[in-house]
Chains A and B, each alone.
Chain A
């Protein structure tokens, strides 16, 4: 039975990888041989298939959690599942749902190929640059921190000017940080469930292993800094925390918590790590909710708080909230997929699709709580 589930899971991932290529951008000249235009010409089918994939992904996720609770899944098998997930999605098309990876690539090109400061010079200023055809934030200065730009130097330069290899290198970097984050989560609690909850969350997988978003890198450094405080390696902790902020700035919201635990450790006072993770979860949740002030509530921002919610295993409401919002956020892509526009009814539909799973999650929680109280 378990073998069959594993087999179906890898098959599912491979089909998802294949499906991701339906979204190849018509202007991506490097992929012109595999461009089909399917997602743009068959919007209804694409939206439906995407919905089906999301539902199935969550079915697998819940199945793995159920197997774990039934003691039918151990850490070795969780590791195996993580490796299978990485292998299954490694060659998926990164810009299936967001063009951020192209922004990373183009920013890296400004810095490491044109030798210009990406905080001063926009990609659009390089007339005739082929990346401009498919980069959506070409008219923006670098959005991310300097450490992230430095990190992107390695995958960019090791691509030796070949688009495909550069893209794969970027994916590889993200995979490394995905594995490292899962590892550090495990190190914190020595509980395989925390790893399972985080690393196999469909939102984390889609936004990290397909979308290649750098949020996982930022969160790895933030979580590691907490871990180093626990290990009483203060300098390393401070360095990692600064690095985290200088990747995408969002972890600046963890600064009061970071200072608090640093101070507690320094004066040899005990730290209630469950409370720390709970406060961290809420801090990152607040900045997540504030993100529309800057632009929009992007699904991959959820990684900021999912890292911490996976470490709060004793609060069922948070686990349920994390799963519901992950599902809802992934549904946010459907209106654009179906209607092909960001305007009109799309913003409202996005809100509804995000909220609906939360309401369902809330009902499930209250029903279970009442049932528990009655018994």
Chain B
């Protein structure tokens, strides 16, 4: 019993001291996640698709769609760097889709009399970051590319046109 009491007193002294926590955050794009071809990519996609129900509410949807747009932009950038143009182009189009959704939910939030000024600031910062990535990609990538998979018909990818379209969407967010 004495040992037990001793242990408790020791616990007490060590853990009684209040902890402090500080936080700081800037808008940054996420790390590249799993890439197409990975066995768990589909699982991740299913999970993330289901997560849209967890992010209910217009602010929630704003966050969800922005996160998804970020994620697919990073995915597209990585795939372009690895010259996986077809997959990269698909990821870029997905990023565009989610980025476009953001405006819908912001409008809905505004219609609910929610103050969206902070969200607009976040969107503006995100748009600038996206534009920075997209402009760099445009400078580094070929204008067109014909993707020729084995035993399948080729796909003509108009890379610059797709990037221009992405840039146009991002400009709306500034």
Contact = CB atoms under 8 A, between A and B. Distances in A.
Given A126-B114, A128-B115, A351-B13, A116 B57 contact: yes
A354 interface: yes
A7 interface: no
A295 interface: yes
B114 A114 contact: yes
A354 B11 CA distance: 14
A1 interface: no
Given A116-B57, A120-B63, A297 B15 contact: yes
A341 to B, nearest CB: 12
Given A114-B59, A126-B115, A289-B12, A295 B19 contact: yes
A191 interface: no
Interface in B49-88: 54-60, 63
B115 A355 contact: no
A57 B82 CA distance: 72
Nearest to B1: A317
Interface string B1-40: 0000000100111011111010100000000000000000
Residue picked from B19, B54, B59, B63, most chain A C-beta under 10 Å: B59
B118 interface: yes
A116 B23 CA distance: 23
Contacts of B59: 114, 116, 120-121, 125
Contacts of A289: 8, 11-12, 15
Interface string A118-143: 01110001111000000000010000
B98 to A, nearest CB: 16
A116 B56 CA distance: 6
A11 interface: no
A117 B60 contact: yes
Contact of B115 (A127, A292, A351, A354): A127
Interface in A92-133: 114-117, 119-121, 125-128
Interface residues of B, number: 25
A127 to B, nearest CB: 4
Interface string A309-341: 000000000000000000000000000000000
A120 B17 contact: no
A290 interface: yes
A117 B54 contact: yes
Contact of A292 (B17, B23, B57, B118): B17
A350 interface: yes
Given A126-B115, A127-B115, A120 B15 contact: no
A342 B18 CA distance: 9
B117 interface: yes
Contacts of A293: 15, 19
A286 B7 CA distance: 11
Contacts of A350: 16, 18
Contact of B16 (A126, A128, A285, A297): A297
Nearest to B4: A282
A120 B55 contact: yes
Interface string B101-120: 00000000000101101110
A294 B21 CA distance: 10
Given A120-B60, A126-B115, A296 B12 contact: no
Contacts of B17: 292, 347, 351
A125 B18 contact: no
Contacts of B118: 125, 127
A115 B56 contact: yes
Residue picked from B16, B60, B115, most chain A C-beta under 10 Å: B16
B55 A117 contact: yes
Contact of B60 (A121, A139, A342, A355): A121
Given A114-B57, A126-B115, A127-B118, A351 B63 contact: no
Nearest to A362: B5
A347 B117 CA distance: 39
A91 B106 CA distance: 41
Contacts of B8: 285, 289
Given A116-B59, A127-B117, 17 more contacts: A114-B57, A117-B54, A117-B55, A117-B60, A121-B57, A121-B60, A126-B114, A285-B8, A289-B11, A290-B11, A292-B17, A296-B18, A296-B19, A297-B16, A297-B18, A351-B16, A351-B17
Q: Which 10 A-B pairs have the closest CB atoms?
A: A116-B57, A127-B115, A296-B18, A292-B15, A289-B11, A351-B16, A121-B59, A120-B60, A117-B60, A116-B59
Interface of B: 8, 11-13, 15-19, 21, 23, 54-60, 63, 112, 114-115, 117-119
